[in-house]
Amino acid sequence: MRNNPWKERLISEPRINDRIRVPEVRLVGPGGEQVGVVRLEDALRLAEEAGLDLVEVAPEAKPPVAKLMDYGKYKYEAAQKARDARRNQANTQLKEIRFRLKIDDHDFGVKKGHVERFLSQGDKVKVMIMFRGREQSRPEAGVRLLQRLADEVGELATVESMPRQDGRNMTMVLAPTKRKADAMNEQRKRREAEREARRDKQAERSSKGRARTASATEED
């Protein structure tokens, strides 16, 4: 029912369905499409008609953001990912990268490169967005930024801890899909291959130098 399972749960144990107690919500469809601000009863009706749950994903927003999703299925998938992440956490370090909400594309690309490097080395990455002033009232913008990052590094990571706002900060933890030990073995093999390639080039240059010397001697 979903195109991108990572998007579904943005805070731990969110309010769902009849537990949501607000007059209206900013509704997001199951595929991430923006429906707009609707009355809570209308959102619950749409969820029932679609056979989905209504989940409050950004309660601090004005109005709160709610999404249509198969919440039971998501919890199962999240538990599976968490178990996989625990199996891979031996010797794993937790790196931290900080973003500003209004980051430009160049800086985003640079920081994403750091995230990819840490993940490829088998380390977890705690991504933090620091809100300034009125930015605290726009948590959905922070969610979108973290979602963009998670999507773009999706081949290297799973989202271990979904975006969670705490005062002026919003954090998300990415866990590498590759175990630390495997990443270290690959790096060691890559370094060995590079050293071997350098030795081969040096040997080739030495051989050519001797050949030129011998040719010059013969001409004399």
Same domain, 57 and 26: yes
In a domain, 198, yes or no: no
Q: Which residues contact 89 (CB under 8 A, 6 or more apart)?
A: 124, 175, 180
Nearest CA to 159 among 29, 2, 7? 7
pTM value? Answer: 0.45
| Counted domains in the chain | 2
H-type helices in 15-88, by residue range? Answer: 40-50, 71-87
Which residue bears the tokens 């996989």?
Answer: 84
Is residue 44 domain-shared with residue 110, that is, in the same domain? Answer: no
Same domain, residue pair 171 and 107: yes
Q: What is the pLDDT of residue 11?
A: 41
pLDDT truncated to tens, each residue of the chain (220 aa)?
A: 445 544 444 445 788 998 999 999 999 998 889 999 999 999 999 999 999 999 998 998 999 999 999 988 888 888 888 777 666 555 567 899 999 988 999 999 999 999 999 998 888 999 999 998 888 888 899 999 999 999 999 999 999 989 998 888 999 999 998 765 565 566 666 777 788 788 878 877 777 666 666 665 666 5
Q: Is 82 helix (H, G, I), strand (E, B) or coil?
A: helix
Residues 66, 140, single domain; the answer is no
65 and 122 in a common domain: no
In this structure, the answer to whether residues 99 and 139 fall within a common structural domain is yes
Looking at the fold, whether 64 and 98 belong to one and the same domain comes out as no
User: CB under 8 Å to 4, separation ≥6 — which residues?
Assistant: 31, 32, 151
CB 24 within 8 A of CB 40: yes
CB 117 within 8 A of CB 48: no
- Classify residue 44: in a domain, yes or no: yes
What pLDDT does residue 89 have? Answer: 54
Angstrom distance (rounded) from CA 126 to CA 93 = 10
Residue 7 lies in a domain: no
Domain presence at residue 193? no
Q: What is the domain-level CATH number for residue 34?
A: 3.10.20.80
Do 102 and 64 share a structural domain?
no
| The residue to which tokens 């809100």 are assigned | 131
The reported pLDDT for the residue numbered 166 is: 83
Output the CA angle 127-163-157, nearest 5 degrees. 60
Same-domain check for residues 69 and 108: no
Q: What is the CATH number of the domain that holds 113?
A: 3.30.110.10
Tell me which of 141, 160, 176 is where a domain ends. 176
What is the domain range of residue 158?
A: 94-176
Instruction: Tell whether 106 and 152 lie within a shared domain.
Output: yes
Is the CA virtual torsion 127, 115, 78, 37 positive or negative?
positive
